[in-house]
C-alpha cells in the first residue's frame, strides 16, 4: 500500500512537471521592441499622403515594432497610428498599408536589395529573409511575378506562403513558423531589422504605390523631381528609426545623377559605422578641415593645410629668401671685381 502511494505520488509529480514545462514553453518571449517617432510619416520630410480620402491621417505612421519568440513561430508586430477601415474588404483586415521587414540574422550570405521601395540596405546589414505583408492572402507565386502579394522571401529570391497576417486594434501581426526559418532561429536575439511602411496599391509592382511630385488618388506627392525622374525616389513614408533626423538623412542618400538608390541601416545600428547620408556635400571649417560626406558610411574628416589662407606668411618667407639670395649674389660679384 505504501509503495503504491509513493508510485502514485511520483506519477502525479511527473505529470505536473510535464504540464508546467509545456506551459512555460508556450509563454511568448519578447526578443526585440522599438518605438518610432510619431508624425514622421512623410518620408524624408516632404512626401505627402495620396489625395484619396481613404488614407486617414496616421495610416502610414509607424509607432512601434516588436518581435516575439513563441513556441513554434515568430511574431512580428507592427503598430501604426491609424489602421483604417479596410474599404476593399481584404482578407487580412487592412488595405491602406504595405509592410516590408528585412531581417539580418547573421554574417555570411545575404542580399541588400528591397522590393519596389527603391532602397538598398548597407552591406553590413544584408538580410537573410524578408516579409512583405499586405491585406492580401499569402501567395509566393504572385510575388515571384512581381505582383502585389503577401510572402516570406529568402535572400536568394525564392519565396514562401508559409506565414499568416492578422490585425488587432491598430496592430498588424505577422506570424512566421520557426520551421520556415529554422537555420537562423538559434541567433534570434542578435537579429537586426529594417522595417518600412508604404501605401498599398494592388495594381502596382509588389503592391507599392507610386511616388510622384504631385499627389493623386493613386500616388504619393511631394517627392524630389530629380529623384522621381531618375527612378531613385525612395518609395516609403516611414521607416523604423530612433529619430526623424536619422530617417531623413538615410532616405536622402540617393544620387539621381548617378542613378543610385538611398542606402538604409538596420536597427539596432552596428557600432563603428556612420549612418548613410546625402552624397556630395563638402563643407569647409576655420580649422583648415575639409569634411567630405561619403555615400556609404556617412562622414569622414580629412585634415590638410589650406595654403591660400596663409598667403601672407608664405609671401614673406619667399621675399626673405629672394633678398638673401640677392645679398649673396652681390657679395660674390664684389669679390670677383677684387
Q: Tens digits of per-residue pLDDT, 97-116?
A: 999 999 999 999 999 999 99
Q: Name the band, by pLDDT with cuts 50, 70 and 90, for residue 318.
A: low
pLDDT at 338: 54
Q: What is the mean pLDDT of the chain?
A: 85
Which residue would you say has higher pLDDT here, 74 or 320?
A: 74
Task: Read off the pLDDT of residues 72-90 as tens digits, 9 standing for 90 and up.
Answer: 999 999 999 999 999 999 9
Q: Count CB-CB contacts under 10 A for residue 164.
A: 17
Closest CA to 242 of 195, 199, 191, 279: 195
pLDDT at 335: 66
Core vs surface per residue 60-70: b (16+ CB within 10 A) or e: bbbbebbbbbe
Angle, CA 60 vertex, CA 137 and CA 249 arms, to 5°: 120
Closest CA to 195 of 152, 241, 154: 241
In angstroms, the CA 82 to CA 314 distance is 66
pLDDT at 27: 87
Least-confidence region, from 47-56, 95-104, 194-203, 278-287: 278-287
Least-confidence region, from 88-97, 250-259, 289-298: 289-298
Least-confidence region, from 51-60, 266-275, 306-315: 306-315
pLDDT at 22: 45
Cell of 278: 546625402
Task: Read off the pLDDT of residues 47-69 as tens digits, 9 standing for 90 and up.
Answer: 999 999 999 999 999 999 999 99
In angstroms, the CA 162 to CA 137 distance is 11
Are 180 and 74 in contact by the 8 Å Cβ rule? The answer is no
pLDDT at 336: 63
- Is the pTM higher than 0.95? The answer reads no
DSSP label at residue 138: B
In angstroms, the CA 30 to CA 243 distance is 22
Domains annotated for the chain, with CATH where assigned, are 28-273 (2.60.40.1190), 280-321 (no CATH)
Q: Is 252 a residue whose pLDDT tops 50?
A: yes
Amino acid at each position: 500500500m505504501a509503495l503504491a502511494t509513493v508510485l502514485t505520488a511520483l506519477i502525479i509529480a511527473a505529470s505536473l512537471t510535464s504540464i508546467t514545462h509545456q506551459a512555460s514553453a508556450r509563454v511568448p518571449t519578447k526578443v526585440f521592441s522599438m518605438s518610432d517617432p510619431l508624425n514622421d510619416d512623410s518620408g524624408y520630410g516632404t512626401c505627402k499622403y495620396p489625395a484619396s480620402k481613404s488614407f486617414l491621417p496616421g495610416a502610414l505612421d509607424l509607432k512601434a515594432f516588436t518581435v516575439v519568440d513563441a513556441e513554434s513561430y515568430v511574431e512580428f508586430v507592427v503598430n501604426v497610428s491609424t489602421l483604417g477601415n479596410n474599404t476593399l474588404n481584404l482578407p487580412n483586415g487592412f488595405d491602406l498599408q504595405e509592410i516590408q521587414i528585412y531581417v539580418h540574422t547573421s554574417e555570411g550570405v545575404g542580399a541588400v536589395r528591397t522590393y519596389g521601395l527603391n532602397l538598398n540596405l548597407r552591406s553590413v546589414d544584408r538580410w537573410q529573409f524578408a516579409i512583405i505583408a499586405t491585406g492580401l492572402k499569402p501567395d509566393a507565386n504572385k510575388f515571384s511575378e512581381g505582383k502585389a502579394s503577401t510572402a516570406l522571401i529568402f535572400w536568394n529570391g525564392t519565396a514562401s506562403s508559409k506565414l499568416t497576417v492578422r490585425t488587432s486594434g491598430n496592430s498588424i501581426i505577422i506570424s512566421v513558423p520557426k520551421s520556415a526559418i529554422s537555420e537562423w532561429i538559434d541567433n534570434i536575439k542578435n537579429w537586426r531589422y529594417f522595417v518600412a511602411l508604404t501605401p498599398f496599391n494592388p495594381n502596382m509592382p509588389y503592391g507599392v504605390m507610386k511616388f510622384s511630385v504631385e499627389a493623386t488618388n493613386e500616388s504619393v506627392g511631394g517627392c524630389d523631381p530629380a529623384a522621381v525622374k531618375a527612378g531613385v525616389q525612395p518609395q516609403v513614408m516611414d521607416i523604423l528609426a530612433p529619430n526623424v533626423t536619422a530617417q531623413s538623412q538615410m532616405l536622402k542618400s540617393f544620387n539621381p545623377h548617378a542613378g543610385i538608390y538611398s542606402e538604409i541601416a538596420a536597427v539596432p545600428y552596428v557600432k563603428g559605422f556612420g549612418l548613410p547620408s546625402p552624397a556630395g556635400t563638402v563643407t569647409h571649417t576655420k580649422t583648415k578641415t575639409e569634411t567630405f560626406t561619403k555615400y556609404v558610411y556617412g562622414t569622414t574628416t580629412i585634415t590638410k593645410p589650406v595654403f591660400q589662407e596663409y598667403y601672407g606668411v608664405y609671401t614673406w618667407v619667399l621675399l626673405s629668401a629672394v633678398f638673401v639670395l640677392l645679398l649673396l649674389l652681390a657679395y660674390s660679384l664684389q669679390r670677383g671685381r677684387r
